[in-house]
Structure 1
Amino acid sequence: MLKKTVVAFLLIGIAIQVFAQEKTSKAVIKGFLDKRFGMFIHWGPVSLRGTEIGWSRGEQVNTAEYDSLYKEFDPVLFNADAIAKVAKDAGMKYLTITARHHDGFCLWPTTFTDYNIMHTPYKKDIVGALAQACKKQGLKFCIYYSVLDWHHPDYPFHKPYSNEFDTTANMERYVIFMKNQLKELITKYDPYMLWFDGQWDSVWTEQMARDMYAYLKKLKPDVVTNNRLGKVMAGMGNETFDLSKMVGDYDTPEQIVGRMNMTMPWESSFTICQQWSWKPNDKMKSLKECLSILSQTAGGNGNLILNVGPMPDGRIEARQITRLREIGDWLKINGEAVYSTLGGPYEPNSNYAATRKDNRVYLHVIKTDTSLIELKNIPGRTIVRSYLINGQSVTIEKGSETFKVVLPVDRFNKIEYIIVLELDGSAETLPVIPR
């Protein structure tokens, strides 16, 4: 009996060790969260029509027409160095490109399908160019890859919003195709992170997801992956889920700021306009909106990946570049309150957010048309100094259970700003203070 028990414990230990080896290291995940802000790029031949990537196939754009757009795709003004420089100037630390979206078109010269960039008039490797440009700018290069492919004959569904099942499709062959492409992407471009999407169809099973994750970790043990290989994620509904069932390294709330979470890594994805891919005259978010999203995300201990959609000629719209530069200018002054911080200790809301590092709490004043902010006292700590990030003194009115931060009159109704609260001890070890 004792021998069997020892063997059982040894087997459990081996299983735990294997599982631990499959997961991305804590140091790498911390490095990912320290970056806080990245660029998403949704782009492909569909930009010629100005409709949504993937989802407009067979909807706003006839399927045959959509699938032929690559024959016209010639982004002669695409400049990977210029785009990477835009991202860096915006204060972004990583860049993620849609190497293959749901429509199946590949922005790199893959050897596993002809539906790729080398069969367009452009005939240049966009993924490779961006990988090199990111390296020059000191950005981490990341790749978006869709689990589903409506164009591929072996994927059973061939258009969005349809339950029409192709009985000639073969998921076993399709998974092999996916593995071949992902190995190609990892081998050729060495991505820092893989951003998956399109895992919702029942033909893609949880076992396939876990098998794919294990396969990727063998190819590159410390590649970061999101949780959209598997079925559980916050998504657009910002839903909660059982963390033990998550496949991948971090959660992905979409077009919404994720819930504050000090234990599970997460990244909110937002569009700078309304549509993911380029749309003419698309309504763009104001600087105030962008900064509010960034501060609330950092305040919740998450990352923000902000999407741009290049035009058909390869350029990012000038107005979007201007907005990104404005964010970057703000981060040049206030970046210490965003990068390499922890969220909290106060939960973020539409009026303010808080981040922390060492003995400092950074109060992000989002709603600037008010005269004060009242907060609960910080347990076990005393505020020894309070000031704007530029050094200007800020008054604190202390109470028995709360304190009031008197907001500077000269900042009334202006752009979001940061107040620093220096404590007499560590801010990083504080518990989250509920509202």
Structure 2
Amino acid sequence: MKKNLTLLFASLLFSTPLFAQQHSEQKHDKYVWPKDEQVKQKLQNWQDIKFGLLMHWGTYSEWGIVESWSLCPEDEGWCERKGPHSANWYEYKKAYENLQTTFNPVKFNPERWADAAKKAGMKYMIFTTKHHDGFCMFDTKQTDYKITDKKTPFSTNPRSNVTKEILGAFRQQGFMVGTYFSKPDWHTEHYWWPYFPPKDRNVSYDPKKYPDHWQKFSDFTYNQIQELMTDYGKVDILWLDGGWVRPFSSIDSTISWQRTIPYNQDINMARIAGMARQHQPGLLVVDRTVSGEFENYVTPEQSIPDHYMPIPWESCMTMGDSWSYIPKERYKSARKWVQTLVDIVAKNGNLLLNIAPGPDGEWHEEAYQRLQEIGKWMNVNGESIYGTKPLAPYRQGQWAFTSNGKSVYASYLPSDSETQIPASLSLPPLNTPPAAKATLLGTTQSLKVTKTKDGLSITIPEKVRQQIAGQPVWVLKIS
């Protein structure tokens, strides 16, 4: 489908080489609806809340570099090594893993994060318990490469099990909570076996040739996920990353990055999901990019579909340029994020917005400012977002349409040069009653609605236009 210029611009704005890693191409035509009633109910609840927070955090924040990927021996931009150890991969890996001995985020305060996210209108949270580098941000018993190990300075802090603290803080604020977990693990010898040095992101040996070694890795993965599902309270979402760890039969040869997977890397997702749901009934499992029964919703990365999709989906995107902490981040404006959220919701999706904590355990202050600005809009206009369904024609020009069954919400996304809503608005035909009444959210004055052969015409008084000037999106409520 040909994209219009606005959507093309948005796509270009959010796309950089750093994030092209593995999810730039996705197909969603193989979606499998869950059969478990508890899973279906939770999925419906998740689709109603629309807006979530993702956090990438690990020892890599100390160097202010891309999360994990500099360890990957691939000649790609996002895998580039920098610094005094960059010339030799083995020395670099040793220095990278030695960051464990200096990681000490003494300003860690998850309650501040949860409070800021709640005030922004976010309703769910996903935290990186382990990224591809294998460093565990939880108190696993399967490895000593973890934040709670005695080699890590922060292990003496009473809040050293940061995953437990973060999930608890957000759960206390009424959030649905989820655990990001990387299926590949570049630290454990059962994935990157030192006998065979790694050539790329994949397992360094042929699992078919060394089944006992692969079974140890599968059990290691199972045991870590079991810990997360049993020791950390109620968990709503198991968000699995690293889609190259997958059954060979699931590879889609039409997708470029999947064609490069050399081995069958089957970790028995049926066994994992069955165990996880035994401990967490109704758990949403998101085995990213692996189409089928264990991908309860799909997750386009740093991109937004250009049309309505009738399946559950979520765009995961970075508030700034990077998934991980960098010292000088360039955060996109609150206006951009409000418009992005409105666009996504009108196409039947959720927005998962990433903010990265730093090595001291804090966000950049600018991230808090962005959330505060987003929250101001959400406080007034949230009823057009939460608990709504997309309404045809979904997105048309500068309009986005949703409905909660009682009212229709027509959201006008102004261009950068528009500071006031137009005095006269023309809407396409909508499923509204003959005597439809309209107001602009944030105001109380009824607006004149006229039915025309092309749809609806609405006149906005000058006083109302001035009253709501400067908003990132203006929302008409028609009921």
Shorter-chain TM band: 0.7 to 0.9
Name the CA shift for 1:380/1:332 in 2 (closer, same or farther; >3 Å). Answer: closer
Map of 1:216 onto structure 2: 276
Please point out which of 114, 129, 136 is paired with 2:172. 136
2:213 equivalent to 1:196: no
Map of 2:473 onto structure 1: 416
Equivalents in 2 of 1:251, 1:297: separation in Å? 13
Report if aligned partners of 1:299, 1:354 keep a CA contact under 8 Å in 2.
Answer: yes
Q: What's the offset of the Cα at 1:152?
A: 1.6
Please point out which of 429, 454, 460 is paired with 1:401. 454
2:49 equivalent to 1:35: yes
Q: What's the offset of the Cα at 1:198?
A: 0.3
2:182 equivalent to 1:146: yes
Q: Which sits farther off after the overlay, 55-64 or 140-149? A: 55-64
Q: What SS does the corresponding residue of 1:113 show, helix, strand or coil? A: coil
Q: What's the offset of the Cα at 1:344?
A: 2.1
Map of 1:80 onto structure 2: 110
State the identity as a percent: 29
Equivalents in 2 of 1:363, 1:329: separation in Å? 19
Equivalents in 1 of 2:182, 2:397: separation in Å? 33
Q: What's the offset of the Cα at 1:40?
A: 0.5
Name the CA shift for 1:90/1:400 in 2 (closer, same or farther; >3 Å). Answer: same
Name the CA shift for 1:149/1:336 in 2 (closer, same or farther; >3 Å). Answer: same
2:81 equivalent to 1:60: yes
Equivalents in 1 of 2:182, 2:49: separation in Å? 24
Q: What SS does the corresponding residue of 1:117 show, helix, strand or coil? A: coil
Q: Deviations over 1:279-311 (max 9, x none)?
A: 121211111110011111111121111110011
Structure 2 runs not aligned, ≥5 long? 1-33, 73-79, 83-91, 246-260
2:209 equivalent to 1:170: no
Please point out which of 334, 344, 358 is paired with 1:311. 358
Q: What's the offset of the Cα at 1:261?
A: 4.7
Report if aligned partners of 1:302, 1:343 keep a CA contact under 8 Å in 2.
Answer: no
Map of 1:391 onto structure 2: 444
Report if aligned partners of 1:109, 1:116 keep a CA contact under 8 Å in 2.
Answer: yes
Q: Which amino acid is 2:237 matched to? A: M
Equivalents in 1 of 2:154, 2:238: separation in Å? 25
Please point out which of 60, 63, 68 is paired with 1:49. 63
Q: Which amino acid is 1:296 matched to? A: D
2:35 equivalent to 1:20: yes
Report if aligned partners of 2:191, 2:203 keep a CA contact under 8 Å in 1.
Answer: no
Q: Deviations over 1:158-206 (max 9, x none)?
A: 7685568346792221111111011100101131111111022444556
Name the CA shift for 1:32/1:259 in 2 (closer, same or farther; >3 Å). Answer: farther
Q: Deviations over 1:134-166 (max 9, x none)?
A: 232222221100111111211148768556834
2:232 equivalent to 1:183: no
Report if aligned partners of 2:236, 2:280 keep a CA contact under 8 Å in 1.
Answer: no
Equivalents in 1 of 2:198, 2:362: separation in Å? 29
Report if aligned partners of 1:156, 1:171 keep a CA contact under 8 Å in 2.
Answer: no
Give the 5 Å matches for 1:315-326.
315-326=362-373
TM-score relative to the length of structure 1: 0.82
Q: What's the offset of the Cα at 1:20?
A: 3.2
Q: Deviations over 1:45-92 (max 9, x none)?
A: 100111111112253253222111111100000012111111112111
Map of 2:8 onto structure 1: none
Map of 1:242 onto structure 2: none
Report if aligned partners of 1:57, 1:160 keep a CA contact under 8 Å in 2.
Answer: no
TM-score relative to the length of structure 2: 0.75
Equivalents in 2 of 1:151, 1:39: separation in Å? 27
Map of 2:146 onto structure 1: 116
Name the CA shift for 1:211/1:260 in 2 (closer, same or farther; >3 Å). Answer: farther
Report if aligned partners of 1:206, 1:231 keep a CA contact under 8 Å in 2.
Answer: no
Q: Which sits farther off after the overlay, 404-413 or 392-401? A: 404-413
Map of 1:104 onto structure 2: 134
Equivalents in 2 of 1:395, 1:337: separation in Å? 20
Report if aligned partners of 1:40, 1:305 keep a CA contact under 8 Å in 2.
Answer: yes
Please point out which of 317, 322, 325 is paired with 1:270. 317
2:405 equivalent to 1:358: yes
User: Number of residues paired by the alignment?
Assistant: 390
Q: Which amino acid is 2:426 matched to? A: E
Q: What SS does the corresponding residue of 2:393 show, helix, strand or coil? A: coil
